[in-house]
A and B are shown apart, each in its own frame.
Chain A
Amino acid sequence: AQTVTQSQPEMSVQEAETVTLSCTYDTSESDYYLFWYKQPPSRQMILVIRQEAYKQQNATENRFSVNFQKAAKSFSLKISDSQLGDAAMYFCAYRSLNSGGSNYKLTFGKGTLLTVNP
């Protein structure tokens, strides 16, 4: 079974600065997606960014980028120019792409609570 580990329960960053959230995962599969989701106090999970395992290039979405290290099974999220609205719980998630298995469900880490200080 796949596992996702987020070793930082809480992080804080000053507004306009950069912060990196860590995530490691364990899998024996070769094809999968990795995601970062944001969950603000309203509880609505919002997809921030995704990475396909077969792509070597790191995904980027505006101020959000990832550092995907497949061999090390590491998938960190970098938030640049942090804004007050970035404050939320961030979850790393894994989804298998292997046919024949449960390749539809997401496996989440425990989350990292990000505080943005003005």
Chain B
Amino acid sequence: GAGVSQSPRYKVAKRGQDVALRCDPISGHVSLFWYQQALGQGPEFLTYFQNEAQLDKSGLPSDRFFAERPEGSVSTLKIQRTQQEDSAVYLCASSLDGRSYEQYFGPGTRLTVT
């Protein structure tokens, strides 16, 4: 079956623009995660959904970051008024449920803010 997909793969935004990054998890996966991976670093947790409920948003770096998963499948990570420090790869992952040990990752969206 299809894996986790993300779009766009690359996004260039001018400072101050809003961006929206999309994640399509594996069909039937209850849990969805967003991670931010800065250049030369490991991924860092941003937020976690179980179905449509956002159970943890403790990793979102500022109130400019907002994530949603309104129907419990596709998720969107929105960044308002982008800043240069937002430049990173944004990874989405899904798992069957909250207990499943394996998270399946998408290819990520590389965001460059100029």
Query: CB of B105 within 8 A of chain A?
Result: yes
Which stretch in B15-23, B42-50, B77-85 binds the other chain? B42-50
Query: CB of B41 within 8 A of chain A?
Result: yes
- Cβ contact of B45, chosen from A4, A33, A45, A105, cutoff 8 A: A105
Query: CB of B33 within 8 A of chain A?
Result: yes
Query: CB of B107 within 8 A of chain A?
Result: yes
The residue of chain A having its C-beta at the shortest distance from the C-beta of B45 within the complex is A105
> A interface, how many residues as a size bin?
20 to 34
- Number of A-B residue pairs, CB cutoff 8 Å, is 56
- Cβ contact of A110, chosen from B3, B41, B108, B110, cutoff 8 A: B41
Query: CB of B72 within 8 A of chain A?
Result: no
Query: CB of B106 within 8 A of chain A?
Result: yes
- Cβ contact of B101, chosen from A33, A43, A105, A110, cutoff 8 A: A33
Query: CB of B40 within 8 A of chain A?
Result: yes
Q: Which of B55-92 contact A (CB under 8 A)?
A: 56, 58-59, 89, 91
What's the minimum C-beta distance from B97 to chain A, rounded to whole angstroms?
10
Given A43-B108, A44-B106, A44-B107: A106 in contact with B45 (beta carbons within 8 A): yes
Q: Considering the chains assembled together, what is the distance between the CA atoms of A106 and B101 in angstroms?
A: 10
Q: Which of A24-65 contact B (CB under 8 A)?
A: 33, 37, 42-47, 50
Q: Which residues of A contact B (CB under 8 A)?
A: 4, 33, 37, 42-47, 50, 91, 93, 95, 102, 104-111
Q: Which residues of B contact A (CB under 8 A)?
A: 3, 31, 33, 35, 40-45, 48, 56, 58-59, 89, 91, 93, 98, 101-103, 105-108, 110
